[in-house]
A and B are shown apart, each in its own frame.
Chain A
Amino acid sequence: MFGAGGGTSSYREIEETDLIVLWGSNARAAHPIFFHHLLQGVRNGARLYVVDPRRSESARFADLWLGLDVGTDIALANAVGREIIAAGLENREFIRRATTGFEAYAESVQPWTLDRAEEVTGVPAAAIRDLAHAYATADRAQLCWTLGITEHHNATDNVLALIDLALLCGHVGRYGSGLVPIRGQNNVQGGGDMGALPNKLPGFQDVEDPDVRARFERMWGRPIPPRAGRHLTLMFEGMEEGVVRAVYAIGENPATSEADAGRATRLLSGLDLLVVQDLFLTETARLAHVVFPAAADWAESEGTVTSSERRVQRVRKALDPPGQAREDRWILSELARRLGVDWGQPTAEEVWDELRALSPIHAGMSYRRLDAHGGLQWPCRSEDDPGELFLHSRLWKDPIEGPPAPFMAVDHDPPVDRLTEEYPIRLTTGRHLDSYNTGVQSGRYRSPRRVGGTLDLDPFDAASLGVRDGDRVRVVSRRGAIEAPVRVSDGLRPGLAFMAFHYPEETDVNRLTIEAWDPKSGTAEFKATAVRVEKL
């Protein structure tokens, strides 16, 4: 945020903060060890507010749970912002010195009275007021979120609405106060850092900046396409238009992980060439012309990954890959050789050292230092730089260093898949503690807690449908239908249903989800599907 694509804080800060807001995150199940740090914060006296449509495992630890309707996060955030301003609790000194756009923001949130927000979000006005006052008056506050914020058609706006709250109260850039998106995969942060984004070269350097490109071209000896490429969602749009004809998927299973998986499978099947590099013959790999069996890089290869606190850590080889599986690095280098460019077979450290020469925020992170420090947090610009515990302390310098942080006025925009009489139930998706993504890895160990693919219903909805635990139902959306057993859950509310997405072989929930996506981030609206449930 504010030009750096990473969370601002370190895990240790949440242990020493005064207020924790967990917004659209069930970290207890999805990020259990982060939640350990959070609970130490609670043990040390921090209050915990959880904003989530479900009364999740995380919400059960909260001082206050704000059970909002799916997709009303901006309405809630704007009402919190309005209340803070109306009560005169905003940090005027910080706003004046370190931000821009406050007036426009204040005007934009003006219509979001507590009463109107209660009507739109379903959260009682008193609870919204409580959150607003608690956040604004806390000395230190951590605002954390995950996919409950970002898997919406207006994902970026959702994030901006939360950032605005931090700017309003000066809860960023200080020890214990920060903005914390917790990453869902072990290297989603590192992938972005390394330039696996359509518009960035490694180190968040803009591919459309000629000076940046020139430095990379000098090192690589090849011209770099001067324009941003396509993110995943746009790739699928390109397949639909017939512009994208070949796909090389590395460690990604879009045939089941994409929203509206039926469409994804149809488009992947129609390609001229689909190459899949994965540990297993995934649903996507079954559609491929060529499959490269890959090593599990975290245990069968060398390299680095980057965590949600911007910490770069080494992964190390404990085992040889089985059968014909090869390390990703080997496959890529060998593919390059056969395409006519001989890179040899560089070691992971050689690749990393090249990266350090090109990405200033990683320059100080030699393997030797990564080993000695148990990982380092970027930015780490030289070999005597300890790395940054938290970002944006510059906003507290007097005068501030660098550009001020802009308020961004955003407005509520409900989920695309509207609830109607025909599709009256809001289905949202998420994770179970013992499982992971499409289950390719986690489906293979024998967890005593595995509940499998169920449709979780509120007791009220289950009663009106006349179904009980274990009864099979048909779940129908505007795009598809699947069958699933019912699990009655006291963590839901009438009109809200839940499914995990780990069990595509039993219950392929992405047959139901909508491909509506956020034009700024490319993320699909996995969290908000309109369905009806039919008793079988």
Chain B
Amino acid sequence: MSRTVTLTVDGHEVALPEGSTLLEAARAVGVEVPTLCYLETLTPVNVCRICVVEVEGSRTLVPACSRVAEPGMVVRTGSARVRRARRMVLELLGSAVHLDLAPEVASWMEEYGAEPGRWGTPPAPEPRVDNDLYVRDYGRCILCYKCVEACGVDAQWTFAIAVAGRGDEAHISTEYDVDLPESACVFCGNCIAVCPTGALMAKSEWDLRQAGRWTPETQHTTTTVCSYCGVGCNLELWVQDGRVVKVTSPLDHDVTRGNLCIKGRFGYTYLHDLPEGYLTPIDHLLSRF
């Protein structure tokens, strides 16, 4: 059994197993800390800085997602200094890229009074549509590294993408920036699954959004088991108008931890792509009998 660590978060004392993070401590006392680059299935890289909190005695703010709790720490998650830092992070991110598909960002902008417009408007580069399975819209990329981690040792071990360039030029890229089909990519789509801003998106969803026909309010999801191979991956089928429009896997199921392969994530189209004549009566098939 591991030992426990006791610390204080926003005035609440909390005891946690040794090795827990400040984010886990905050959640344990019911305090919400915003995160973008953090995901429980990935190694924290603490690059987005939206989760920073103040630790008494620490010169700088610390990222809650990766800072390990120590005995006696006094943590403040909502101090003026923390709020100012988060506002700045949101403004810089929001002036660099389009965040309208990141689910909670709009509410955080409001909460922290962020006005990204005062730093300029983000550019809108053409999305890269170089294959039939998924689209890369780097005008939405906040360089959070999640896709790189999912493609690397946290899940897939394919290493098809990495951060290329320095400073303003930094961007996620395949080797020599080749199109995905020419790259090492195996189209598992595990990068899409972890992308927090919609920069990576299944083509099926992207096409519907482009056509103005993506309607989350009419969708339902059903959890089932993949029909390819015998590993037993859980699939969440997103259904709109009687058609599967997207496939994901639950993060909290320990067979997949949210990951799938190309067949599981994209191989469902045979459900709808029916051959000619499939829906007509089949009496002619009985003729030999």
Contact = CB atoms under 8 A, between A and B. Distances in A.
Contacts of A369: none
B259 A183 contact: no
B270 interface: yes
A315 interface: yes
A33 B237 contact: no
Interface residues of B, number: 62
A5 interface: no
Contacts of A289: 286, 288-289
A487 to B, nearest CB: 16
B281 interface: yes
B263 A436 contact: yes
Given A32-B188, A61-B157, A444 B269 contact: yes
Contact of B228 (A314, A317, A320, A436): A436
Interface in B54-104: none
Contacts of B285: 281, 285, 288, 290-291
B133 to A, nearest CB: 7
Interface in B249-264: 253-257, 259-264
Contacts of A488: none
Interface in A250-302: 273, 279-281, 285, 288-291, 293, 296, 298-300
Given A319-B271, A441-B267, A12 B254 contact: yes
A313 B232 contact: yes
Interface in A166-188: 182-188
Interface stretch (A219-227, A446-454, A512-520): A446-454
A307 interface: yes
Contacts of B270: 279-280, 296, 440-445
Contacts of B243: 319
B271 A34 contact: no
Contacts of B212: none
Interface in B216-236: 220, 222-234
A308 B231 contact: yes
Identify the interface centre among B181, B230, B263: most chain A CB within 10 Å of its CB.
B230
A193 interface: no
B230 A313 contact: no
Contact of A446 (B132, B231, B244, B271): B132
B279 interface: yes
A308 B243 CA distance: 29
A316 B224 contact: yes
A396 interface: no
Interface in B110-133: 131-133
B282 A449 contact: no
B167 interface: no
B230 A375 contact: no
A324 B225 contact: no
Contact of B279 (A184, A280, A322, A374): A322
A36 interface: yes
A526 to B, nearest CB: 17
A433 B230 contact: no
A434 B231 contact: no
Identify the interface centre among B153, B227, B257: most chain A CB within 10 Å of its CB.
B227
B222 A316 contact: yes
Nearest to A275: B289
B268 interface: yes
A33 B259 contact: yes
B5 to A, nearest CB: 24
A445 B229 contact: no
A341 B273 CA distance: 36
Contact of A186 (B188, B232, B269, B272): B232
B261 A433 contact: yes
A290 B286 contact: yes
B7 to A, nearest CB: 29
A43 interface: yes
A442 B256 CA distance: 20
A290 B256 CA distance: 39
A33 B256 contact: yes
B239 interface: yes
B246 to A, nearest CB: 12
Contacts of A305: 225, 232
A299 B224 contact: yes
Nearest to B179: A448
A30 interface: yes
Contacts of A374: 234, 253-255
A298 B269 contact: no
Identify the interface centre among B185, B229, B289: most chain A CB within 10 Å of its CB.
B229
B53 to A, nearest CB: 30
Given A12-B254, A61-B157, A281-B275, A315 B131 contact: no
B261 A32 contact: yes
A392 interface: no
A169 B72 CA distance: 48
B133 A447 contact: yes
B186 interface: yes
A301 to B, nearest CB: 10
A186 B186 contact: no
A316 B227 contact: no
B255 A434 contact: no
B170 interface: no
B181 A449 contact: yes
Contacts of B224: 298-299, 314-316, 318
A308 B231 CA distance: 6
B187 interface: yes
A31 interface: yes
B266 interface: yes
A449 B186 contact: yes
Contacts of B281: 324
Given A316-B224, A318-B239, A441-B270, A184 B180 contact: no
A183 B282 contact: no
B99 to A, nearest CB: 29
Given A299-B271, A434-B262, A448 B230 contact: no
A441 B229 CA distance: 12
Contact of B229 (A185, A290, A323): A185
Identify the interface centre among B228, B254, B266, B274: most chain A CB within 10 Å of its CB.
B228
Contacts of B232: 186, 305-309, 311, 313, 375
Nearest to B261: A32
7 contacts: A31-B231, A183-B230, A279-B270, A307-B225, A315-B225, A324-B279, A441-B267
Given A318-B244, A374-B254, A448-B187, 11 more contacts: A31-B230, A33-B256, A33-B260, A183-B230, A279-B270, A296-B227, A299-B244, A313-B232, A322-B271, A434-B263, A443-B270
Ranked nearest first, the 7 interchain pairs of A and B with the lowest CB-CB distance are A307-B232, A183-B230, A318-B222, A32-B261, A289-B289, A446-B132, A323-B279
